[in-house]
A and B are shown apart, each in its own frame.
Chain A
Amino acid sequence: MAQKTGSEYEYGKLYRSEDKVYPREVKGRFATLRRIAMFVLLGAFYVAPWLTWDARQAILFDLPARKFYIFGMTMWPQDFIYLALLLIILAVSLFFFTAIAGRLWCGFACPQTVWTEAFTWIELVIEGDRSKRMKLDKAPWTFDKIRKKALKQFLWISLALYTGFTFVGYFSAIGPLATDLVTLTAGPWEWFWVLFYGLATYGNAGFMREQVCKYMCPYARFQGAMFDRDSLIITYDTERGEPRGSRRRGSDAQAQGLGDCVDCTMCVQVCPTGIDIRDGLQYECIACAACIDACDSIMDKVGSPRGLIRYSTERALEHKKYRLIRPRTIVYTGILTILLASLVTTIAMRKPVILDIIRDRNTLYRDVGRQGIENSYTVRVINKHNEDHDYELTVSGIDEMSIRTETAFSLAGESVLTLPVSIIVPHEYAGGGHVIEFRLDSTDGSGITVTEESRFRGPTEGY
């Protein structure tokens, strides 16, 4: 076990909760921004599943029914392409924003950071600041310590479980889910996933924290490939700061040959991943900007200008001009524009009905005497609309072909109809293979038309 030496920073094995990094809390511009981001993002996460749209949960990925409802739009498994496109867009955006603004995502928007922020905030409120927490951990188990620890764990576990519940609420209607959980009538899988995600939240935000960023996150490891010399990074101005060293208040640092860094190590103490930003850009840095706030407050105290540690770029530190428009950003912008445009157009052109034609695989054709040659199909019509529609099925491609089964039908909103269809073609036209086209028209004036190709087979020559 690591000893609490009271030195600048403490490390220990993280699977012992009392050996955690004790990041010193920090006040300042970026800390405020981070807290705002936390409230906005967590707020959105917890509130969104409770919103309703057209008397239905606005965002519901209804996995049991295999339908996604997103603000009045219904997505079917057949619409997976949109989800795939969306995910690709998000991935490219991440590259784009990283190239421009560095790891802004890590510091302010990543769920890992946001929930860790929430959990450490609870810890701060219950157990007090860094020194108080260290003292409390060392202290014997008094009633007060038990009370504080129990209260903290209770709040952590409650938040984690509520997070798990909210998460499941995106996949299974949240209102009924809440009732079912409270009355203990929820299904085993709902329970399982609530607990699973609750546990994951607790583990990631209360227990592992920045270790996830340091060791487990693939994004952190790839940042070197996404950065260039114009990406915004948090950096220490070596030129201005070095040589570092403590100095007497009011003494002339320049005369002593010292730079602006007073070597107070505040930047190291506040760092949640425990790195020294003065060693340069490191992959552990999650760009939370805590060191900027810490250093600025010290600079204010010693009367030096702020910004010894600041958001800057490698080129800017070399006194070169910052370039926003550069090959990397141009390429990313291009890809993003194309992807976004295709997403919007494909969604706009999305057909509300899907027509699926499956040929009977068992018999190629059937001779039905004088009437001609018959082929059988299974026609599947999926009405993705929320409203009911009347349809008429027609077929074309061969002279005098006709559908022998029912062709007019009505289909309720969001439902699927499977229809056996048989087509007859007179002998003189039926020989060989033909491409035919099924066509579905709405007959209730809603103007829906879909077509789908299939094949008609007849006997080959000389049979």
Chain B
Amino acid sequence: MGDNEEDLRQDWSRETQKLAVLSWISFLTASAFTMLFFAFIDPLTIVDAVNVEFIESRNAGYAIGFFFLWANCWIASWLSMRLCRRKRTGPTSLPRTK
């Protein structure tokens, strides 16, 4: 990276920034919905339904629920981000004048 001011100002690359926003916003959303969900549903119900030996406590249920929601939010946000992408505008994409 060059040492002129403009270059130095780019502290996070566009990709890193996207990744960070994606993960953080889906984390916050998942936290809120985990709270809402488990306020009404006892995680033991889920643990019983999954029926795997090593996850048998409520704590396991909470964790599974949270990470499930986080993954869901993440995927949904990622897809939205991809699909909302617009065509690059620049000299090469200018409409032909002829």
Contact = CB atoms under 8 A, between A and B. Distances in A.
A80 B36 CA distance: 8
B81 to A, nearest CB: 14
Interface string A161-197: 0000000000000000000000000010110110000
A13 B19 CA distance: 14
A37 interface: no
B8 A2 contact: yes
A212 interface: yes
B24 A212 contact: yes
B62 interface: yes
Contacts of A13: 1, 11-13, 16
B49 interface: no
A13 B38 CA distance: 39
Interface stretch (A3-11, A50-58, A331-339, A355-363): A3-11
Interface residues of B, number: 29
Given A77-B39, A80-B40, A64 B8 contact: no
A222 interface: no
A129 to B, nearest CB: 21
23 contacts: A10-B8, A12-B1, A12-B11, A13-B1, A13-B16, A14-B11, A14-B16, A64-B58, A66-B58, A77-B38, A80-B36, A80-B40, A83-B39, A189-B59, A189-B63, A193-B63, A212-B20, A212-B24, A215-B12, A215-B17, A215-B20, A216-B21, A218-B28
Classify the interface of chain A: helix, strand, loop or mixed. loop
B59 to A, nearest CB: 4
A191 to B, nearest CB: 11
Contacts of B35: 83
A66 B1 contact: no
A281 interface: no
Interface in A445-460: none
Interface in B41-62: 42, 57-60, 62
Given A2-B3, A2-B8, A63 B58 contact: yes
Nearest to B27: A200
Contacts of A218: 25, 28
A21 interface: yes
A1 interface: yes
A463 interface: no
B10 interface: yes
Interface of A: 1-3, 5, 7, 9-15, 21, 63-64, 66, 77, 80, 83-84, 187, 189-190, 192-193, 208, 211-212, 215-218, 274
Given A11-B9, A216-B20, A189 B60 contact: yes
Contacts of B57: 64, 187, 189
Contact of A192 (B7, B24, B63): B63
A247 B45 CA distance: 74
Given A189-B57, A216-B21, 19 more contacts: A2-B1, A2-B8, A12-B1, A12-B8, A12-B11, A13-B12, A13-B13, A21-B11, A64-B57, A80-B36, A80-B39, A80-B40, A187-B57, A208-B20, A211-B12, A217-B24, A218-B28, A274-B9, A274-B11
Contacts of A5: 3
Contacts of A77: 38-40, 42
Contacts of B24: 212, 216-217
B8 A215 contact: no
A418 to B, nearest CB: 14
A272 to B, nearest CB: 12
Nearest to A3: B3
A7 B4 CA distance: 10
B3 to A, nearest CB: 4
Contacts of A208: 20
A218 B38 CA distance: 25
A211 B20 contact: yes
A262 to B, nearest CB: 20
Contacts of B7: 2
